[in-house]
Amino acid sequence: MAAPYRIKQLAEPATSPDRVRGYFERLMKMIPMEVVTLYLAGLTLIPEKETVVQIVWAVLGLGGVFLARFFGTRESERNKPTDWVVLVLSCVAYLIWVYSLGGPFKTLGIFLPYVAGLLVLLWTFVVPFLYWGQSEQ
């Protein structure tokens, strides 16, 4: 596997366009939109009062993020292990997105829409600054 979610640190100081491109590349690799989209599609099928089913669906999605980033950041042919930082940051991003969509949190009475919105905005902006990738040396 070519490790599609692996973040490669730039070896030399990047020019301004490279930094912007690198920021968006890191953002796309650490926000697990493929699983968030799957979660959202499934959530629309679950009745609002089925809190346990919503929680199980969210946990299955978290497992999906874990597996996608576990295998998607590992490069066996180059002897590069899983990038655990990307995996953890992606799991946190997923949980923030799950909270922002309400789901079981709304049913349990612990959903605050303004907090959810602010968390998504803050995390989406900040996460690419938290991690610049592993050195390729």
Query: Does residue 95 belong to any structural domain of this protein?
Result: yes
Cβ neighbours around 35 below 10 Å, total: 25
SS3 label, residue 14? coil
Torsion angle defined by CA atoms of residues 88, 81, 73 and 124, in that order, rounded to the nearest 10 degrees = 30
**Nearest-angstrom CA–CA distance, 70 and 136:** 18
- For the residues 77-95, what does the mean pLDDT come to? 87
Q: Quick: pLDDT tens for 16-70.
A: 666 666 777 777 777 888 898 999 999 999 998 999 999 999 999 999 999 998 9
- Range(s) of the domain holding residue 87: 26-130
Q: What is the token pair recorded at 58?
A: 């969210």
In a domain, 57, yes or no: yes
Domain total of the chain: 1
pTM of the model: 0.80
What is the percentage of the chain residues whose pLDDT exceeds 70?
A: 80
Q: Is residue 17 part of a domain?
A: no
